[in-house]
Structure 1
Amino acid sequence: MDEFSQPPSPLELMQSLGFDYSVAALIGGTIFGIIGIYLFRKGRRESHSPNIWVGVGLMLYPLFVSSTLYTYVVGALLCGVAYYYWS
Structure 2
Amino acid sequence: MRPIEALGLRHGCCPDPEPDASGHVGRHLIYGHEYKNATDEHGNHHSAGRERDVPWVAITSVVGAIRVLERMVAPGELRR
TM-score by length of 1: 0.29
Greater helix fraction, Structure 1 or Structure 2: 1
Which is greater in Rg? 1
Bigger relative contact order, structure 1 or 2 (CA pairs below 8 A, ≥6 apart): 2
TM-score (norm 2): 0.31
